[in-house]
Amino acid sequence: MPKHVKKWFIFCLTILCSTTSIGVFAKIDNAKIKSLQQMSLESSLSYEIVESLTVEVGPRLPGSPADLKTVAWAEAKFKALNYDKIYKEPVEIPVWTRGAASAEITAPFPQPIVITALGGSVATPDEGIEAEIVRFDNIEQLQQADSKLVEGKIVFIDPITERHRTGKGYGKVVGARSKGAVESAKKGALAVVIRSIGTDSDRFAHTGMMRYSDDTIKIPAAAMSVPDANQVNAMLDRGQPVRIKMNLSPASKGVASSYNVIGEITGSTYPDEIILLGAHHDSWDEGTGALDDGAGVGIVMATGALIKKHSVQPKRTIRVVLYAAEEIGLIGGKAYAKAHEKELDKHRFALESDFGAGLIWRLDTRVNPAALEDMKNIARMLEPLGIEMGHNNAGGGPDISMLPGYGVPVINLQQDGSDYFDYHHTPNDTLDKIDPAKIAQNTTAWVTFAVMAAEVDAQLRPIPERK
Amino acid sequence: MPKHVKKWFIFCLTILCSTTSIGVFAKIDNAKIKSLQQMSLESSLSYEIVESLTVEVGPRLPGSPADLKTVAWAEAKFKALNYDKIYKEPVEIPVWTRGAASAEITAPFPQPIVITALGGSVATPDEGIEAEIVRFDNIEQLQQADSKLVEGKIVFIDPITERHRTGKGYGKVVGARSKGAVESAKKGALAVVIRSIGTDSDRFAHTGMMRYSDDTIKIPAAAMSVPDANQVNAMLDRGQPVRIKMNLSPASKGVASSYNVIGEITGSTYPDEIILLGAHHDSWDEGTGALDDGAGVGIVMATGALIKKHSVQPKRTIRVVLYAAEEIGLIGGKAYAKAHEKELDKHRFALESDFGAGLIWRLDTRVNPAALEDMKNIARMLEPLGIEMGHNNAGGGPDISMLPGYGVPVINLQQDGSDYFDYHHTPNDTLDKIDPAKIAQNTTAWVTFAVMAAEVDAQLRPIPERK
């Protein structure tokens, strides 16, 4: 152990021995934290990790050859970053390939439009599907519609995604994507195409997962770009029926193996107690998944690595989990919860970074209210980074969304997602969309949280019900 | 003639009779101009015209079925706008179709990239072309390179397009696109692919015309998106050879007819003297050509229409020319110059709008310096629109670029093109990129210039040589 760290440890131990468990934390060595923060702010490690992943692997669709390349990349990267323990855990995933997608307006004003298949969609017949469209503002309006309006048509669901720092506009409209095919099929539609769930006005269609149900037929499902949705509306506004022809050739191809890849920085005092830092290593296939979720991978991998590099041994184990196959249904997240069910009571905190690389601006928690004072202590150290204390009603993140059900306290280091849905699930999700200074701020917040959270001895459970 | 216009005409005539030709102009009725400007600023006509063109026709590649639809649309629109005289003039154009384009990096890190064929390119063999790339900063570096470096490879020309209000970054690098295939073929390359000539960082490849020469073989030519060019560079930076496979299926398909479409507002005093307002009605095929050059079409068509609607009969004829096939080699512009050669001495001014729909900020001229005082008078009326007087070294615009050779004075109502090359020649050139308020400012400047220019009696020739 380097001399300065040893001194710090001795100092901390002195403090620890002289206080109660809740009180301890308030007296953690702020100077050490600040020096870690400074080092992290000056480091480009998280950016370099995303660069490495997006350049050396690129798009990483679950079940594709690139998926296993990602797993190998992740293991090698953890090793290069000097993690204490590196392992992987198998998951089984359905294989789906996108194929080609094309579409055109055939009447009243023929012209091509930009579409993409939604994840999991079946193909159209080879000759495509051509029909009049019937437009709905949103999924709710479709659900209320008379089947007679829908039968034999292509349903066009047309919700506008509102821009918001928290990304809350997404949740309001994503039902059109996930449930559109089932609701359309119920009413006899031939296919469904939605306005992209996105805040941009670029000529990219946003893909993303959709679902079928066992009791309705599977109809093809696609998204069109926002300018194309506007174009269709301009034609409908002229009072004329609009016909669309679409060709999709996705295919389901059995199952494949992938892995959650895990790296740990072993805790000094309580090595079996875990601070879980998550991100997902898969991505959609049309971009290089820089924001979704290369950024998260970079942030969480760099967090452990920078702590280790700065010769800080956290009191509890920092476990970095790179989940497989998040995009196609949280497969890695669910598998982790199952595989680690007996160990989940040792999970002190779980966090996930899966919302791009915008500046973190708020710390949200879900812990026993008695531990909130400790959270506020952490928030005080985050304040110089522009981060405020938030609410105690955090959701965590997609891959850890099942953990609060097991009583695991979750945290959100809430990012500014104002432009996240400009790029989300499009070919335009590429490295150039990441600002190196912003991802360094993210990493610094994660380093700060992780190292301080590992010191917290307070009783964190039971966590409150989510409002 | 409405009463208020009649009064204005009588007033103007009084002034005209009492002054010399240069002096006249200073005494034009500013109140009338201002009322025209107010009406124009409040009008959404130019925006509505672009909307109509981009929705009802959409992409308009020269020689495609949409090309003749555009011609019919233009004739009908001129008629609806109540132009005095409407006619069309045939041009013969080579037909080229884009086909499909795909490419991938095959080594060292296989992944798809986004490319598009350059206009006029030949196809690759059906199985594509796969080879190592050799990178050059720009066309000049390629021209100086040893053939041994290039033989049997795919040339990658990688110039950065600088963002500038005047768009001057484009001219500096567009040689990579226009001359890349010839220069690469000379040195034995199999194909050429360039970094898109564009200022954006979106996953769109920018197309645009390229040329072959008779004494070199024709090799396929494509552009890749800026993020993909960055990706290739990231691999080259790792010191590894980069291999690309590209498939292009464009085809040349003989010749077709199209038309320059012309509408006139007849001059009152000198109907045979012409103020030419130009734009081009064709577009590339991947976007809807809203900025290039739907905006220009909207601005110039609205200019004549608003003047007419406001019951102003200009002293000289305002001739609005919608040129065919600009994108593939100024075919309409050249045909117009030839067809009207004997009449060009009656062309008092020529202007073209072909740089998007950004705010106009400067009036550049190329007239006999003795007439500059008249130009400054016009500039004074443009000042409230945020437009300053510029230089007397104007180029005009692509389709009128040959007219100064015949002595025709040309004008540039210089637009802010800061973001023009973000969208230029991409699928992303769609209506949503036009700000209705900005295009109304453009139209108002054009209305002001056209109506005032029609009054100018000064000797405008000879025009100075261009510096």
Q: How far is CA B309 from the centre of its chain?
A: 27
**Could you give the maximum distance between any two Cα atoms of chain A, in Å?**
80
Predicted pLDDT at A311: 81
- Closest chain A residue to the Cα of B240, Cα to Cα: A56
Q: Across the interface, do B111 and A59 touch by the CB < 8 Å criterion?
A: yes
Q: Which of A24-38, B51-65, B148-162, B213-227 has the lowest mean pLDDT?
A: A24-38
Q: How far is A383 from chain B (nearest CA, A)?
A: 33
Q: How far is A233 from chain B (nearest CA, A)?
A: 10
For B344-388, write each residue's pLDDT tens digit: 999 999 999 999 999 999 999 999 999 999 999 999 999 999 999
- Given CB atoms, is B431 within the 8 Å cutoff of chain A? yes
Q: How far is B432 from chain A (nearest CA, A)?
A: 7
Taking the C-alpha atoms of residue A142 and residue B38, their distance in angstroms, rounded to an integer, is 45
Predicted pLDDT at A51: 98
A165 token code pair: 């720092």
- Which residues in chain B touch residue A73, judged by CB atoms under 8 angstroms apart? none
For B426-440, write each residue's pLDDT tens digit: 999 999 999 999 999
* pLDDT above 90 for B27: no
Question: Which of A240, A428, A431, A435 is best to mutate for the B interface (most B CBs within 10 A)?
Answer: A428
Q: Over range B152-163, report the average pLDDT.
A: 98
Q: Over range B148-162, report the average pLDDT.
A: 98
* pLDDT above 80 for B11: no
- Given CB atoms, is A432 within the 8 Å cutoff of chain B? yes
Express as a percent the part of chain A with pLDDT over 90: 92
The helix/strand/coil state of B361 is: strand
Residue A355: strand pairing partners: A357
- Give residue A29's pLDDT band: very low, low, confident or very high (50, 70, 90): confident
* pLDDT above 90 for A19: no
Taking the C-alpha atoms of residue A199 and residue A164, their distance in angstroms, rounded to an integer, is 9
DSSP code of residue A464? P
Q: Which residue has the higher pLDDT, B249 or A6?
A: B249
Predicted pLDDT at B29: 84
Amino acid at A342: K
What integer best gives the mean pLDDT of chain B?
Answer: 94
- Given CB atoms, is B216 within the 8 Å cutoff of chain A? no
- Given CB atoms, is B236 within the 8 Å cutoff of chain A? no
- Which residues in chain B touch residue A430, judged by CB atoms under 8 angstroms apart? 201, 203, 227, 230-231
Name the catalytic one among B75, B326, B327, B352.
Answer: B326
Q: How far is B183 from chain A (nearest CA, A)?
A: 30
Pairing of strands A101-107, A111-113: antiparallel
Helix (H) or strand (E) holding A48: helix A45-56
Q: Over range B36-56, report the average pLDDT.
A: 98
- Given CB atoms, is B96 within the 8 Å cutoff of chain A? no
Predicted pLDDT at B19: 36
* pLDDT above 70 for A195: yes
- Give residue B7's pLDDT band: very low, low, confident or very high (50, 70, 90): very low
Q: B350-367: b or e for each residue (b if 16 or more CB lie within 10 Å)?
A: bbbbbbbbbbbbbbbbbb
Q: How far is B124 from chain A (nearest CA, A)?
A: 20
Taking the C-alpha atoms of residue B453 and residue B378, their distance in angstroms, rounded to an integer, is 8
A286-345 residues touching B, CB cutoff 8 A: 287-288
Predicted pLDDT at A26: 31
- Which residues in chain B touch residue A114, judged by CB atoms under 8 angstroms apart? 427
Predicted pLDDT at B288: 98
Task: Output the CA torsion sign for B138, B228, A291, A339.
Answer: negative
Cα B289 to Cα A201, B54, B174, B424, B433, distances in angstroms: 15, 7, 19, 9, 10
A57, A109, A235: residue with CB nearest B109: A57
Predicted pLDDT at A264: 98
Q: Over range B282-290, report the average pLDDT.
A: 98
Express as a percent the part of chain B with pLDDT over 90: 92
Check if the beta carbon of residue B97 is closer than 8 Å to that of residue B253.
yes
Instruction: Cite the beta strand spans of A184-312 per DSSP E.
Output: 191-195, 221-224, 243-248, 251-265, 270-280
Q: Across the interface, do B202 and A201 touch by the CB < 8 Å criterion?
A: no
For B64-110, write each residue's pLDDT tens digit: 999 999 999 999 999 999 999 999 999 999 999 999 999 999 999 99
- Closest chain B residue to the Cα of A200, Cα to Cα: B432
Q: Over range A181-187, report the average pLDDT.
A: 98
A43-82 residues touching B, CB cutoff 8 A: 51, 54-59, 66
Check if the beta carbon of residue A394 is closer than 8 Å to that of residue A364.
yes
Q: Across the interface, do A431 and B58 touch by the CB < 8 Å criterion?
A: no
For A409-424, write each residue's pLDDT tens digit: 999 999 999 999 999 9
Taking the C-alpha atoms of residue A443 and residue A303, their distance in angstroms, rounded to an integer, is 6
- Give residue B312's pLDDT band: very low, low, confident or very high (50, 70, 90): confident
Q: Which residue has the higher pLDDT, B8 or B221?
A: B221
- Give residue B130's pLDDT band: very low, low, confident or very high (50, 70, 90): very high
Taking the C-alpha atoms of residue A219 and residue A446, their distance in angstroms, rounded to an integer, is 43
Q: Over range A129-137, report the average pLDDT.
A: 98
Q: Across the interface, do B55 and A235 touch by the CB < 8 Å criterion?
A: yes
- Give residue B188's pLDDT band: very low, low, confident or very high (50, 70, 90): very high
Size of interface A-B (CB pairs under 8 A): 85
For A347-404, write each residue's pLDDT tens digit: 999 999 999 999 999 999 999 999 999 999 999 999 999 999 999 999 999 999 999 9
Q: Over range A160-166, report the average pLDDT.
A: 98
Rg of chain B in Å (alpha carbons) = 24
Q: How far is A250 from chain B (nearest CA, A)?
A: 17
- Given CB atoms, is B232 within the 8 Å cutoff of chain A? no
Helix (H) or strand (E) holding A91: strand A85-97
* pLDDT above 80 for A11: no
- Given CB atoms, is A230 within the 8 Å cutoff of chain B? yes
* pLDDT above 90 for A7: no
* pLDDT above 90 for B23: no
Q: Across the interface, do B227 and A114 touch by the CB < 8 Å criterion?
A: no
* pLDDT above 90 for A270: yes
A112, A234, A427: residue with CB nearest B114: A427
* pLDDT above 60 for B286: yes
- Which residues in chain A touch residue B110, judged by CB atoms under 8 angstroms apart? 58
Question: Which of B50, B57, B111, B238 is best to mutate for the A interface (most A CBs within 10 A)?
Answer: B111
For A57-101, write each residue's pLDDT tens digit: 999 999 999 999 999 999 999 999 999 999 999 999 999 999 999
Taking the C-alpha atoms of residue A205 and residue B410, their distance in angstroms, rounded to an integer, is 43
- Given CB atoms, is A240 within the 8 Å cutoff of chain B? no
Packing angle, helices A226-237 and B45-56, rounded to 10: 100
Name the catalytic one among A326, A327, A352, A455.
Answer: A326
Question: Which of A104, A286, A432, A434 is best to mutate for the B interface (most B CBs within 10 A)?
Answer: A432
To the query of whether residue A341 is one of the catalytic residues in this protein, the response is no
Q: Across the interface, do B432 and A201 touch by the CB < 8 Å criterion?
A: yes
- Given CB atoms, is A87 within the 8 Å cutoff of chain B? no
In chain B the domains, ranked by start, together with CATH numbers, are: 3-95+255-453 (3.40.630.10), 99-249 (3.50.30.30)
Q: Over range B130-135, report the average pLDDT.
A: 98
